[in-house]
Chains A and B, each alone.
Chain A
Amino acid sequence: MLGIIGGRIYDPQNGRDGEIGDIWVRDGRVVTAQEIDRERAQIIDATGMVIMPGGVDIHSHIVGAKVNSGRKLRPEDHRGHERARVGNLRSGVEGTVPTTHVTGYLYSEMGYTTVMEAATAPLVARHTHEELEDMPNLDKGVFITMGNNHFIMECIRDQQYERARDYVAWLLGASKGYAIKIVNPGGVENWKWGRNVGELDDEVIGYEGVTPRQIVQTLARINDDLGLPHVPHIHGINLGKSTSARTTVETIAALEGRRAHFCHLQFLSYGAGKGGVHRSEAAQVAEAVNAHPNVTVDIGQVIFGSTTTMTSDGPLQFSLHQTTGNKWVNDDVESESGGGIVPIAYKAANPINATMWLAGLELFLLIDDPWRVFLTTDHPNGGPFTRYPQVIRLLMDRGYREEMFAGINARARKGALLPELEREYSLRDIAIITRAGPARVLGLRNKGHLGVGAAADIAVYRDLADREAMFARPAYVFKGGELVARDGKVVAELPGRTLYVAPAYDKSIEAEVDEYFKRAYTLSLASYSVLGESVRGAERVECGARS
């Protein structure tokens, strides 16, 4: 039993906006004061401190084949960022692609308790789950890439909607995934021919009549029909290109009112500028988001410094390699996906990088409803998640924003919207964009809030004027009521859970998949599926029709 008393509670889900109060915990859950024997409870005096639910990261690349290739690729990123073994905690490396245990520790040290792995090809989901078992202190879920899946594209071509729906349901269970992920729909498949898509109505090579638009529409409909806890999680076409803002707005419209989440929107909010340097079209994209309440977004804010880009967007990664000349990993995945990795350095003095930085902040400040915009860096693509506290300060502190703005490339500064945007986020806003909002759109009913019955995932911060310092080193972090970090240092290792869905489907799809596997894959269905297998800490989340 635990009581955190006398702190200012920010729990937007339950309408608490900084009033002083107590949080009581028993058996890993938030309970009422009446359910606690105060004599036996551990009491934390949070006087003068800020209490929030544990952070919820809706989009981060933390485990799996691509992330691990990124680790192997970058010894230069690890050196100087080693983390020594302390007691029974593991050693490892930090940097932009931290080792698995250390990733769990670093999130704990920042007050986060739930993180979603943003993209796994189902073919290598078994690897992802092995790594997740080695990632303590976090509850996790895995988004399964489906935007270039051959079976789904065949169904779309042959106008067999129900077959596609049953396959998606089967696939989520077979990979123990949490959500449908779409990455550059059709473009990753076309990359296998050395091409890409540029428009929503471009055709996918080899799939007559199948287009990015149809892939998005079909998967959005399936998501609703299956009643998945999350919405389809979309990385659209043209990421990084000067046509991206236009096609992002078109993709939002193409949903025709269906719910969807657009990830790392910053990377998809550019227009053509002078001399081949993109301009920020944050205003145009934010307007579309504001006008479509069916849409949520996360930003993928760029942090100045070195990082490692890694996406399932194969053609994007090749073009990054061509642009930067940096080393390049590509990995085409049979019948379903692809991906690549390129190290990069974002520099304030570079006009393109500075514009990316601006676009992210402008989106944060121009999207009106904090319940629909969430804090991410698309770790590690925009920068490592360990820099979230800096982004929080940029959002809460206009003076700091102006100071950084003055230091960026002059061409990027010229005509920029940012200086006109006076908005400063409040602590309530921060609690929404880092906790309550992502938990709500992920369908995690017991997370992102501190009402009775909620998971006792709790972060307690000292109320410092320097918001970066405040959010970098929480005084206390509890996972399921257990203290896991104190004063910004991890103190305990607890096994985390892996949340997954297994929606119902018409069983006749299994025989079809069995036949399909024989022609489409070089391994057996039994090797592919992890459905019937035990994954340590796996916990099924129920699906239900959406209201």
Chain B
Amino acid sequence: MSTIVEPVTCSFCGCVCDDLSAEVDNSRIVRVRGACSSGLGMFTGYDPAPRKPTVDGQEVTWEEAVAEAAAILKGAHSPLIYGLSSTASEAQRKAVELADRIGAVIDSTSSVCHGPSGLAMQAVGEPTCTLGEIRDRADLIVFWGCNPDASHLRHFARFSLTPKGALTTNGRQDRTVYVVDVRPTGTTKRADHFLQVDVGSDFEVLTTLRLLVRGKEPDVESVGGIPVADLAELAQRLKSCRFGVAFMGMGLTMTAARQLNVAELFTLVSELNQYTRFSVMPMRGHGNVAGADQVLSWTTGYPFAVSFARGYPQFSPGEFSAVDMLVRQATDAALIIASDPGAHFPRAAAQYLSEIPTIVLDHAESVTASHAQVVFPTAVYGVDASGTAYRMDNIPIPLHKVIETERVTDEDVLQRIIEAVQ
């Protein structure tokens, strides 16, 4: 007999939808009402069967696995802790505590995603708001270098395109939507205006918009493949809307100029507040990557790429970011939490990772886990464990336990490792 469980929160992406309910049958989730197709798989694809930890591929007890993990970390000169964005903030806090105790480098997936947005924020600030402000007030939406139609499937319906809010009573009709991207996407199909920018030209286009907003006319016909007349029209709309928002993605953070692109957009948005109200929001990808930034900031002062090697936190992206640590072979043991760098990192980094002693905490049998010395098959927060995730607008949202299993949480495993390394 099946039962309905609610509330259920999905932490697949940065939308962290908390309005779901699940149908549970025989300790398996068979249906989830309200979930998008990305989120659904997290619940229905989850195999809750008990699994034992492994050392060198052999099943062992939890105590043996913890002892082996502690031995690896204690024996390392320069351990690296990485991942964090798909676990709960309770586990992230334990991960930082462990890093502090053993003098590790700790980094989250931010460094290969919106890390440059963090650097831009540190350089020029960031005028932002919560997603409800956008739903209720925004009459001009700009998506720049992002494609929520593929990455954040309920974003349009809950926050940015179609919902009816306090001042957007007619929903979609009350919003003008621009997309700036290098190619047509699902998102461009939903927009009123699509400005196709040449690859690598975002910075020039943003600078031109800043000029136009200030009432200055560039003496060229087009910039970055976009006619100046079209940019002038956009600049006019940016200044005259009631409340505008720019959502931005990896089209700005992971292309040439990286944080300089983002800083230029953040600066444009700051300046627009002299004319009207305008906000910007990075489209955070993983469900709790915003939480990783938060937890690292309150425990170390810095959002990612932090080293405790000298006994206190030091921040240096490009040096203490995980890819760079691995490519430079500057680490000799790794603890990976809820992430699969073995599958997603550049080849040289993934290759080196497979050669050093590695400990993995993950519910999934990842590529990284297949090379690891110690694997802890842990629970999934929001499925068989409860915890907290921070939405892309940094609002903390509780993740509820939907089914009871015998899986241990990331937090528990990390606590046991902390005790074992002392």
Q: Which residues of A contact B122 (CB under 8 A)?
A: 72-75, 327
Q: Given the known A-B contacts A84-B311, A92-B299, A92-B312, are A527 and B125 also in contact in the complex, defined by CB atoms under 8 Å?
A: no
Q: B276: which A residues are within 8 A, CB to CB?
A: 194
Asked whether A332 lies within 8 Å of B279 as measured between CB atoms, the reply is: yes
Residues of A within 8 A of B18 (CB): 523-524, 526-527
- A331 contacts across to B, CB distance below 8 A: 128-130
- Sort A-B residue pairs by CB-CB distance and give the 10 closest, nearest first: A334-B132, A327-B125, A332-B129, A82-B312, A330-B127, A93-B301, A126-B396, A84-B311, A328-B125, A522-B132
Binding-face segment, B23-31, B133-141, B319-327: B133-141
- Once the chains bind, are A527 and B131 in contact (CB under 8 Å)? no
Q: Which residue of B lies closest to A97 (CB)?
A: B301
Closest to A333 in B: B130
**16 A-B pairs, CB-CB below 8 angstroms?**
A69-B297, A69-B394, A72-B121, A85-B101, A92-B313, A93-B301, A100-B299, A124-B395, A126-B398, A130-B388, A328-B127, A331-B130, A522-B131, A526-B7, A527-B9, A527-B398
B6-26, CB < 8 A from A: 7, 9, 18-19
Residues of A near B397 (CB, < 8 A) are: 126, 523, 527
The verdict on A309 contacting chain B, using a C-beta distance below 8 Å, is no
Interface contact A78-B130, CB-CB below 8 Å: no
Pick from A63, A194, A329, A335: contact of B127, CB under 8 Å: A329
**How many Å lie between the Cα of A519 and that of B168 in the bound state?**
12
Closest to B119 in A: A75
Contacting residues, chain A, for B273 (C-beta < 8 A): 194, 318, 330
Asked if A524 meets B19 with Cβ closer than 8 Å, knowing A126-B398, A328-B125, A330-B273, the reply is yes
Interface residues of B in 265-309 (CB under 8 A from A): 270, 273-274, 276-277, 279, 293-294, 297-303, 308
A23 to chain B, nearest CB (A): 35
Q: How far is the CA of A402 from the CA of B90 in the complex (A)?
A: 51
A192-B311 in contact (CB<8A):
no
Interface residues of B in 374-411 (CB under 8 A from A): 388, 390-391, 394-398
Asked if B82 is an interface residue, CB under 8 A from chain A, the answer is: no
Interface flags for A102-141 (1: CB within 8 Å of B; 0: not) read: 0000000000000000000001101100110010000000
- In the complex, which residues of chain A have a beta carbon less than 8 angstroms from the beta carbon of B19? 524
Other-chain residue from B125, B136, B277, B311 in contact with A334 (beta carbon distance below 8 A): B136
By the criterion CB–CB under 8 Å, are A127 and B396 in contact? yes
Give residues 184-207 of A contacting B (CB, 8 Å): 191-194
**B100 and A334 contact, CB distance less than 8 A:** no
Is there a chain A Cβ closer than 8 Å to B332's Cβ? no
Task: Judge whether A321 and B125 touch: CB under 8 Å.
Answer: yes
Partner of B133, one of A97, A100, A334: A334
Q: Do A123 and B395 touch across chains, with their CB atoms under 8 A apart?
A: yes
Measured between beta carbons, the chain B residues less than 8 angstroms from A332 are: 128-130, 133, 277, 279
Known: A92-B299, A334-B132, A524-B18. 14 other contacts (CB 8 A): A65-B394, A72-B303, A78-B301, A82-B314, A85-B100, A91-B313, A93-B313, A100-B299, A192-B243, A192-B277, A321-B270, A334-B135, A527-B397, A527-B398
Q: Which chain B residues lie closer than 8 Å to A72 at the CB level? A: 118, 121-122, 293, 297, 302-303
CB distance from A282 to the nearest CB of B (A): 32
A90 touches B301 (CB 8 A): no
Q: Is chain A's binding surface mostly helix, strand, loop or mixed?
A: mixed
Q: Are A123 and B277 also in contact (CB < 8 A) when A130-B89, A130-B388 are?
A: no
Cβ of B178 < 8 Å from any Cβ of A? no
Whether the Cβ atoms of B130 and A131 lie closer than 8 Å is no
Q: Is B159 an interface residue (CB 8 A)?
A: yes
Say if the beta carbon of A13 comes within 8 Å of chain B.
no
Q: Does B126 contact A (CB under 8 A)?
A: yes
Q: Is the CB of A71 within 8 A of B297?
A: yes
A481 CB, min distance to chain B CBs, angstroms: 26
**Inter-chain contacts of A124 with B (CB < 8 A):** 394-396
**Chain A nearest CB: distance from B295 CB in Å?**
8
Bound state CA distance, A252 and B103, in angstroms? 53
Q: Does B71 contact A (CB under 8 A)?
A: no
Q: Is B123 interfacial (CB-CB < 8 Å)? A: yes
In the bound complex, do residue A75 and residue B315 qualify as a contact, i.e. CB atoms below 8 Å apart?
yes
- Which residues of the partner chain B approach A92 to less than 8 Å between Cβ atoms? 299-301, 312-313
Min Cβ gap B360→A in Å is 26
A residues within 8 A CB of B174? Answer: none
Q: Which residues of B contact A71 (CB under 8 A)?
A: 297-298, 301
Tell me the complex Cα distance, A435–B159, Å: 47
Q: Tally chain A residues at the interface, Cβ within 8 Å.
A: 57
Give B270's nearest chain A residue, CB to CB: A328
Residues of chain B at the chain A interface (Cβ within 8 Å): 7, 9, 18-19, 89, 93, 97, 100-101, 118, 121-133, 135-137, 158-159, 166, 243, 270, 273-274, 276-277, 279, 293-294, 297-303, 308, 310-315, 388, 390-391, 394-398
B-chain residues with CB within 8 Å of residue A400 when the two chains form the complex: none
Shortest CB-to-CB span from A121 to chain B, Å, is: 9
Residue from A191, A193, A332 having most chain B Cβ neighbours under 10 A: A332
Q: Counting CB contacts under 8 A, is A377 at the interface?
A: no
Scan A332-345; emit 1 where CB is below 8 A from any B CB, else 0.
Answer: 11110000011000
CA distance in complex: A526, B397 (Å): 9
| A99 interface residue per 8 A CB criterion | yes
Closest to A127 in B: B396
Q: Complex formed: what's the CA distance from A78 to B296 in Å?
A: 14
- The CA-CA distance from A515 to B330 in the complex, in Å, is 55
Given A74-B122, A127-B294, A327-B123, A90–B100 Cβ distance below 8 Å? yes
**A447 contacts B by Cβ under 8 Å:** no
Docked CA distance A522–B134 (Å): 10
**Residue A101 interfacial (CB < 8 Å):** yes
Contact of B7 among A83, A100, A524 (CB under 8 A): A524
* Given known A72-B121, A85-B100, A329-B127, contact A100–B298 (CB-CB < 8 A): yes
Docked complex Cα distance between A527 and B127 (Å): 25
Name B300's contact: one of A65, A93, A127 (CB within 8 Å): A93
Do B298 and A85 touch across chains, with their CB atoms under 8 A apart? no
| A127 touches which of B9, B124, B390 (Cβ 8 Å) | B390
Structural contact, B137 and A192, CB atoms closer than 8 A: yes
Q: Find out whether the CB atom of B129 lies under 8 angstroms from the CB atom of A330.
A: yes
Q: Which residue of B lies closest to A327 (CB)?
A: B125
A68 within 8 A of B: yes
B18, B123, B274, B293, most chain A CB atoms within 10 A:
B18
Assess whether A334 is in contact with B130, with CB atoms less than 8 Å apart: yes
Residues of B near A73 (CB, < 8 A) are 121-122, 125
Of B7, B125, B136, B298, which one neighbours A131 at CB under 8 angstroms?
B298
A67 vs chain B, min Cβ distance (A):
8
* Chain B hits for A533, CB < 8 A: 398
A7 to B340, alpha carbons, bound, how many Å? 61
- Within the assembled complex, what's the spacing in Å between the Cα atoms of A132 and B277? 33
Are B297 and A83 closer than 8 Å at their CB atoms? no
Contact A333 B133 (CB under 8 A): yes
Check if B300 sits within 8 Å of A192, measured CB to CB.
Answer: no
The residue of chain B having its C-beta at the shortest distance from the C-beta of A328 within the complex is B125
CB pair A83 B396 closer than 8 Å: no
Residues of A within 8 A of B97 (CB): 90
Most buried by B among A82, A83, A192, A334: A334
Residue of B nearest to A526 (CB): B7
Smallest distance from the beta carbon of A501 to chain B beta carbons, Å? Answer: 21
Residues on A with C-beta less than 8 A from B130 are 123, 331-334, 522
Chain B min CB distance to A193 (Å): 7
